[in-house]
A = this chain, B = another copy of it.
Amino acid sequence: MPRFFVEREDINDHTALIRGADAVHIGRSLRMRLGDELTVCCEGRDYICRIDTISDEQCTLTVLSSGEGQGEPKTRLTLYQAVPKGDKLDTIVQKSVELGAAEIVPVLTARCVSRPDEKSFRKKRERLSRIALEAAKQCGRSIVPEVGEMISLDECAKRLGRHETGLICYEKGGSPLSETVPADTGDIGVFIGSEGGFDEEEVEKCRANGAKVIGMGSRILRCETAPLAAIAIIMNLTGNM
């Protein structure tokens, strides 16, 4: 069943409203008709709705039933990702959303080759947010994971320290995820490097702020493979996959 995300003001227990491009999509691309059913998501809740009216401006719907979204993991995972080269962040955002990340925060580290300025990152962030929205619809999420503003290493180290479980994956090794992630953790932040990995001082700064240093085995994972492997393993260890 197609999924659409709406703002709080556009849904209550009885009726829902889908506006703009989504309404056009329902009527023209999906060719849905009056009486057809779809899922409307708002703030982590899924609403099964029936279409009452369709126009290019809006669709009005009747809420048939609702419940907590089944696609949401019980563990809130924030991925801090050092900015990689090219369009790898596109892939990382798309797959992280599928695997259950709640938020993706790009970080500028010493070894980032790609160093977008504020203006060009603003454009990039818009694209990444659209990718997150499309992935959330496609894979059955009940929230749209946020792509955060780009932050510095210092800010990232501080934030890692504030998570219930804060992790940095270091290419030179550390503890295995299975010894570090408590099965009942409700809030986890995991920091992954870009192509060149991390400087030792960066790792030390994160450790000093309370993050645990993780090793992901003896093979060298590409910077777009490491976050996906880490998220999948964490979701498994916490009973969410």
Measured CB to CB, the residues of A under 8 A from B are: 70-71, 73, 95, 98-100, 138-141, 176-178, 216-222, 225, 228-230, 232-233, 235-237, 239-241
Contact = CB atoms under 8 A, between A and B. Distances in A.
Contact of A241 (B71, B98, B216, B240): B216
Copies of the chain in the assembly: 2
Given A229-B241, A232-B228, A232-B232, A98 B140 contact: no
B98 A225 contact: yes
B99 A236 contact: no
Contacts of A232: 228-230, 232-233
Contact of A217 (B176, B178, B217, B240): B240
A176 B240 CA distance: 9
Nearest to A228: B228
A95 to B, nearest CB: 5
B99 A225 contact: yes
Contact of A236 (B139, B178, B218, B239): B178
Contacts of A237: 178, 236
A103 to B, nearest CB: 16
A95 B225 contact: yes
Contacts of A221: 98-99, 139
